[in-house]
Amino acid sequence: MLTTIAGRTVHVNDEGFLTEYGEWDEDVAAELAGDIGVTLGEEHLEVIRFVRDDFAAEGVTPTLRRISTVGGVPLKRLFVLFPKKPAKKIAYVAGVPKPVGCV
């Protein structure tokens, strides 16, 4: 399905997650974050960049545990940066698939 985000036409699924990795940029991320009530700062972007890089390398959206242990961001901090369902919100803003097991 096509939609417009940050003035660009992008592909999304029925939940609004981007389906084309290459259509993402930080302007798209900022608009997606705003849609879920998050204002992106540098700390948010560091998490998002890690998630995108890890997804590109591993082919699967990283879990919160992986973001914490490999990405070096304490789990509690992820809940502060992306309150209520941080794994789902991080994936949404990062333009990667919803993590397995997320409702």
Supply the residues annotated as catalytic: 102
Angle between helices 86-94 and 42-58 (to 10 degrees): 80
